[in-house]
Structure 1
Amino acid sequence: MKFFDVFLKQFRLQWRQYLVASLASYGSLCTGMSMGWTSPVLPQLRGPNSPLPEQPTLQQESWIGSLLVLGGLIGPFITVPLSKHVGRRWLIMGSNVPLLLGWLLAGVTTNLPTLYVARLAWGCATAMQFATVPIYIGEIAEDKIRGALSAFFLLFINIGFLLAYAIGPFTSYWGLTACGGIISLLYLPFSWYLPETPFFLVFKGRLEEASSVLQQLRGKTKDEVQPELDSLQAMIAREYEEEPKISDLWASRGSVKALGICVFLAMLLQLSGIDVLLFYMEELLAKVGTKISPSDGTIIMGVVQVATSCVTPMVVDRLGRKLLMWTTSLGLTIFLTLIGVYALLDNYYKYDVTSVTFLPLLCLIVYMILFTLGVGPVPWILVAEMFPLKTKCLASGICSFMCWLAGFIWTRFFRDVAASYGIYTAFWILAVCCGIGFIFSVALLPETKGKTFDEIQDLLNNRTKQGNPGA
């Protein structure tokens, strides 16, 4: 109870930052719906009420699922060049364009090419938000709650998945698509009322606006926020003494280390199989042999995701990034291996597994809990924390690009691997990837919990000793 009392007391003092982080993260709810849309929709595309003239093939369904991730590769090419010119707020607002275009095309489609373009548009919107919203939240948040607020992004994504899972089985293709479009329309006014980040305003020399935004976010007077404003000015003057260039990403040992860590963890996020599970949840629950209704199973999974996401903001700054990463990646390795063993015994050897039919769903539930606590949010928190100001957007774009590239390859070919070598082999490949992530987290990941940017840079450059990650 003491822990929750402290959290509530902290929330009362900093509710403005929680509100702004929530408004910024609402777009991830909309993109979460577009990502989870395939799970209930793919069975409907095979039915008599499909908008398509004929039933899609296995390969076409794989393209429907994976093209959203391919569209994600477009996002960094939009966010990186524009970030220092238009600011984070306008990029977040701009993500509404491909987001709403995707829902419109999905709603009027009568053929596969239109549906493909809709998925690409959703992917572009999702990648724009992945590359921008965590940075936005990192720049409006105080250091001590930065991790908690950054975890909101994943929380809203999971709420979007739950909505797709809960609405989809009980309505038609058009009903689910219309719901997604209406919910996404609400993001227009929400994003309009977002303030620009104090960092960008100082960077552009708009000091009075930066002071005003800080006063609103911190609930303090102009004099009380002046030290933070002065610190921002000093940091920007130091970091932007020269024009940023791509070679800055490997200009120091710390920069190279930060980029390597964040690129690897961003790719691990996808190679752990999260998009595969979320896009094809109903299909996978049927394939691994669980006896529960696939639609009921996906709803259970969505509820677990959201419930765990509510806990993540309260633990990510308490337990630390390193501890969360190595424990959750180890857990994912174990439970993905167990699902593969179950599928091997049930599908290949035809053993009687009726006494443990609950095991696949239980393992997937634990998988979702562990992913949502660590492997999912931590990479994006680290992207917002580890990079110097002048290279942060570029590094975020690179990490986002590599994340989506890994996701596209895996979502496109997962079903082919499962069809050719068995679903158990596909799960074991995921387990191996998570095992590599566990080793990486233990051996190479530094702890950034509660540290200022300068302290994190000292840590990456080995100028200070790393403290206890669990402290």
Structure 2
Amino acid sequence: MMEAVKRFVGPKWRQYLAASLASYGSLCTGMSMGWTSPIFPQLRGPNSPLAEEPTLQQESWIGSLLVLGGLAGPIITVPLSRYIGRRWLVMGSNLPLLLGWLLAGVASDLPTLYVARLMWGCATGMQFATVPLYIGEIAEDHNRGALSSLFLLFINVGFLLAYAIGPFTSYWGLTACGGILSLFYVPFTWFIPETPFFLVYKDRNTEASDVLKKLRGTSKEAVQAELEGLQALVAREFKEEPKISDLWATRGNVKALGICVFLAMLLQLSGIDVLLFYMEELLVKVGTKISASDGTIIMGAVQVVTSCITPLVVDRLGRKLLMWTTSLGLTIFLGLIGVYALLDSYYNYDMGSWAFLPLLCLIIYMILFTLGVGPVPWILVAEMFPVKTKCLASGIASFMCWLAGFIWTRFFRDVAASYGIYTAFWVLAVCCGVGFVFSATLLPETKGKTFDEIQDMLNNRSKEPKPVAV
């Protein structure tokens, strides 16, 4: 197996291995996020661990508390990342993850289940704030996209496992699977190195050189230029400790922060967590005739396949084009699901010949989200901010993303219960429509531009024309 990996990726195989081991935790958090979809029907059945069947409001809290717990992720990781390093934060995210699986396994009442969901959310928020940063700092420019895609790929594999195992086992069976898989995370991450950037930042240059040599699969002399570049970067950007006020020190930073926060919130307001948490229930409610368990497995498989091709599409088509086209597509297909649900559940039309439509629309939704609305906000955070403020900006965008996700996952089912599932889908469509207008009119294109060119564009600075030789 290892020899096959070496032959496939060449001398840089250690980068792929380190990125995969760091991303493995996202597989476990993906399982915890997808856990609710097959578990909710079981909580209403005779084999539920709870003494009483949960109400609609209680189920909404079970679903949304994971997203609320995600708010703790950037609060924990942003200040600690400068002191204990990326590696220990990646490893530490497994502590609340394991605690969540343990609590879910022994839960016999709702408060215990609520705390388990909060713990899973904390772990998820920590990984979203740390693992992409870790991968970005161990990768080279030419393979950063491929390595970064592993994080999303592992998350989607986790969802697929939850969707594929949950319908065919008990509450405790799925929970035990998630807990056992999470047990491997600490031994796996024990073997990942600290990032060269953090080691240089802490003036541990000899260690940084050794790590670079191993990750690049070359000699100490060959990585000397890269090491000197990191030293120069740290000396230039970190003369003073980064402050939150640095984020609005320039007009360009304010504009970049507004763009990234808006798109990070759009990521959640498009309904992704709602669909992933309540997938089986929604497939039943919108009237599709395929079994809910089969539908969720198909959705999970689509996510995994699409996440494999996302890096290629992002680098070829650009950020702006992907954002406005995918948000427009989400608007159309969410709207169509709403129309179908209105005709099927409200007007009671015979929709038998169109029973395939909701699942087809959801599959296209998942493809479009995974290609554009999902990854682009985090790519823009990495491209629009200087190294000094990138971690702070990512933390704020992540915090607002989780906040929007909590509000929507908490109240989506209330909207559906009070005004119809079709209304809830139309609200999602309107949110995506706003994202389409924003992306088409206000979002700048950063594809192929250097950091200085992006800053000039954000600050509305025009280049002085070069004098023409006579």
**What's the secondary structure of 1:341's corresponding residue?**
helix
> What's 1:314 paired with?
312
How many percent of aligned residue pairs carry the same amino acid?
83
User: Alpha carbons of 1:415 and 1:384: their partners in 2 closer, same or farther (altered >3 Å)?
Assistant: same
Q: Amino acid of the residue matched to residue 55 of structure 1?
A: E
Structure 2 equivalent of residue 378 of structure 1: 376
Alignment of 1:107-118 (within 5 A): 107-118=105-116
What TM-score results when the alignment is normalised by the length of structure 2?
Answer: 0.94
Q: Deviation at 1:19?
A: 2.3
Q: 1:394 is matched with which residue?
A: 392
Q: Quick check: 1:330 aligned with 2:322?
A: no
Task: Give the whole-Å Cα distance in 1 for the aligned partners of 2:310 and 2:167.
Answer: 28
Structure 1: runs of 5+ lacking an equivalent: 1-7, 466-471
Residue in 2 that maps onto 1:468: none
Residue 245 of structure 1: aligned partner: 243
TM-score, structure 1 length as denominator? 0.94
1:154-174 per-position Cα deviation (integer Å, ceiling 9, x unaligned)? 111110000000000000000
What residue ranges of structure 2 are gaps of 5+ in the alignment? 1-5, 464-470
User: 2:467 aligns to what?
Assistant: none
SS in 2 for 1:224: coil
2:42 maps to which residue? 44
- How big is the shift at 1:191? 1.3
Counterpart residue type for residue 220 of structure 2: K
1:207-249, Cα deviation, whole Å (9 max, x unpaired):
1111222222222322222222222111211111222111000
Aligned to 1:447: 445
2:268 to 248, 267, 270: 270
Please provide the CA RMSD for this pair. Answer: 1.8
> Which amino acid in 2 is paired with 1:414?
F
Q: Check whether the contact 1:322–1:445 (CA below 8 A) recurs between aligned residues.
A: yes
8 Å CA contact retained: 1:154, 1:376: no
State whether structure 2 residue 208 is matched by structure 1 residue 216.
no
1:175 pairs with 2:173: yes
Secondary structure of the corresponding residue to residue 83 of structure 2: helix
Paired position in structure 1 for 2:344: 346
Amino acid in structure 2 at the alignment position of 1:121: M
Task: Answer with 64-73 or 456-465: which moved more.
Answer: 456-465
1:339/1:450 Cα in 2 relative to 1: closer, same or farther (>3 Å)? same
Amino acid at match of 2:334: L
- The number of residues matched between the two structures is 458
Q: Secondary structure at the match of 1:194?
A: coil
Deviation at 1:440, TM superposition (A): 1.9
How far has the Cα of 1:298 moved from its partner?
0.5
CA contact (8 A) 1:134 1:384 kept: no
For residue 48 of structure 1, give the secondary structure of its aligned residue in structure 2. Answer: coil
TM-fit CA distance, 1:360: 0.2
Q: Are the counterparts in 2 of residues 343 and 424 from structure 1 also a CA contact under 8 Å?
A: yes
| Cα offsets for 1:151-206 (capped at 9, x unmatched) | 22111111000000000000000000000001111111121111111111111111
TM-superposed CA distance for 1:134, in Å, is: 1.3
Aligned to 1:71: 69
Counterpart residue number, 2:301: 303
Counterpart-to-counterpart distance in 2, 1:197 and 1:441: 34
Query: Who is 2:409 aligned against?
Result: 411
1:407 partner SS: helix
SS of 1:202's equivalent in the other structure is helix
Which residue does 1:147 correspond to in 2? 145
What is the aligned partner in structure 1 of residue 30 from structure 2? 32
Farther-moved stretch of structure 1 (311-320 vs 423-432): 311-320
**Alpha-carbon spacing, 1:449–1:443, altered in 2? closer, same or farther (3 Å):** same
Cα deviations by residue, 1:236-277 (Å, 9 ceiling, x for unpaired) = 111112221110001112211221121111111100000000
With 288-297 and 310-319 compared, the bigger mean Cα shift is at 310-319
Conserved? CA contact 1:211–1:226, under 8 Å: yes
Give CA-to-partner distance per residue, 1:398-455, whole Å, 9 cap, x none: 1111011000000000000001111111111111111111222222333334555455
Q: Which moved more, 1:10-19 or 1:238-247?
A: 10-19
Following the alignment from structure 1 to structure 2, what is the Cα–Cα distance between the partners of residues 233 and 454?
20
Describe the SS at the equivalent of 2:241. Answer: coil
**Which residue of 1 is the match for residue 88 of structure 2?**
90
Distance 1:162 1:97 in 2: 23
The one-letter amino acid of 2:252's match is G
